[in-house]
Amino acid sequence: MPRRTGAVDATIKVNGLRELQRDAKKAEDGTDKEIREGLKKAADPVLQDWRRQLSPIHEKSASKLRIRVRTGSALVAQSARKTTGDHPEFATLQIKQGESALERHSDEVERILEREVDDLADTVEGRI
């Protein structure tokens, strides 16, 4: 199940996620897609909060925030190319905003992850 790694580290770890995703890919029954969609759902509250924080400062950067799902992780990341701007601490500002968004929504992210894992388990049991 999900566990927080600390207040400073903006990460929620799910033990066994990498293995679950690997095995789901082998199943070829769409389970891997369901896992990816569940991870996106869990990351969405962080994405929305981060966009709300960043929009008044820089709308274009806020619109470039995306959820990315990889084997073993889901993350909210900036998809814009690096640019040099007038604000030398802009990257630090964005990182702090993202960390605070995850911290504010960590309980909600954990609840969504738990619900998605439970739903996935029910789905897999129904296919067996």
DSSP annotation string for the chain: -EEE--SSS--EEETTHHHHHHHHHHH-SSHHHHHHHHHHHHHHHHHHHHHHHHTTT-HHHHHTEEEEEETTEEEEEE-SPP---S-TTHHHHHHHHHHHHHHHHHHHHHHHHHHHHHHHHHHHHHH-
Taking only the tens of pLDDT, the chain with its 128 residues reads: 444 443 334 567 777 888 888 877 777 777 888 888 999 999 999 999 999 999 998 898 889 999 998 887 888 888 877 665 667 788 888 889 989 999 999 999 999 988 988 888 787 776 65
Token look-up 């604000």 returns 87
Supply the pLDDT for residue 78: 83
Is residue 80 a contact partner of residue 60, using CB atoms and an 8 Å limit? yes
Global pTM? 0.78
103's tokens: 């911290």
Supply the pLDDT for residue 80: 78
102's tokens: 């995850």
